[in-house]
Amino acid sequence: MITQAHILGKDDSILVECQNGFQLLPEVCEAFKQMQAAASEDDVDIRIVSSYRSFERQLQIWQNKWSGKATLLDVNEKALDASTLSDQEKLIAILTWTALPGASRHHWGTDLDVYDKKSIEQSQHDFKLVCSEYDEGPCALLSNWLNKNARKFGFTRPYSEYKGGIAREPWHLSFQSSADEMSAVQDEHMLLAHLKKTDIFGLDTILSNMDNLYQRFILNRGLI
Ligand SMILES: [Zn+2]
């Protein structure tokens, strides 16, 4: 049974180590390996760059962004000057690229980020996980392959277009059937209750914008 702890990234006991230490749900790992084998026949070397992420890890990423230790980007991947932003603008800038801890699809074991390892190595490209690499760079072949084939293996791309919420992330895959079960259990009030128990930076700003940000960024419905 899926619990709030699974949704919030507080319990990884239902996951397996799939490849190179990356954790996924067993059925997601199985489907991924089948897809990987099929891609390899087309000379596409799909590898995982990120899969399960715990609440604590996501919180650490969040704290680094809020405190200015990590660079903030606008939706076009341009660096922002955090000192010129209000707390609300900062919140929106962070959420464009970074999920609120407890609300990342990477907590579920259903979602993963992928790249084309062989192509990156052959092009001696310094991989940055940015859209241009997938649109016309060394991961373009992979991206096209996924467009044609990912659904056959049960995977979709929830961030394939920018709707005004989360930035476009062509590298992000979701195992749809399992992710649907997770999102059915996801709950705004449980998330809020949990965040209040942590030392997350920007909590007041998060609280006063919660309803809007939940729709816009967590459900990724964008600007409505
Ligand atoms: Zn991702």
Query: Residue 37: which CATH number?
Result: 3.30.1380.10
59 within a domain of the structure (yes/no)? yes
Q: What is the pLDDT of residue 223?
A: 80
- C-alpha 189 – ligand 1 centre gap (Å): 24
Task: Name the amino acid, one letter, at 190.
Answer: M
Phi, psi (degrees; rounded to nearest 5) at 102:
90, -10
Q: What is the pLDDT of residue 203?
A: 98
In angstroms, the CA 145 to CA 212 distance is 35
- C-alpha 190 – ligand 1 centre gap (Å): 22
- C-alpha 114 – ligand 1 centre gap (Å): 8
Altogether, the residues listed in the chain come to a count of 224
Cα–chain-centroid distance for residue 194? 20
Q: What is the pLDDT of residue 125?
A: 85
* Under-70 pLDDT residues of the chain: 224
- C-alpha 158 – ligand 1 centre gap (Å): 9
Q: What is the pLDDT of residue 224?
A: 67
Q: What is the pLDDT of residue 168?
A: 95
- C-alpha 104 – ligand 1 centre gap (Å): 9
211 within a domain of the structure (yes/no)? yes
Q: How many domains does the chain have?
A: 1
Q: What is the pLDDT of residue 75?
A: 92
Q: What is the pLDDT of residue 222?
A: 86
- Give pLDDT tens digits for 144-178: 999 999 999 999 999 999 999 999 999 999 999 99
- Cβ count within 10 A of residue 11: 16
- C-alpha 199 – ligand 1 centre gap (Å): 24
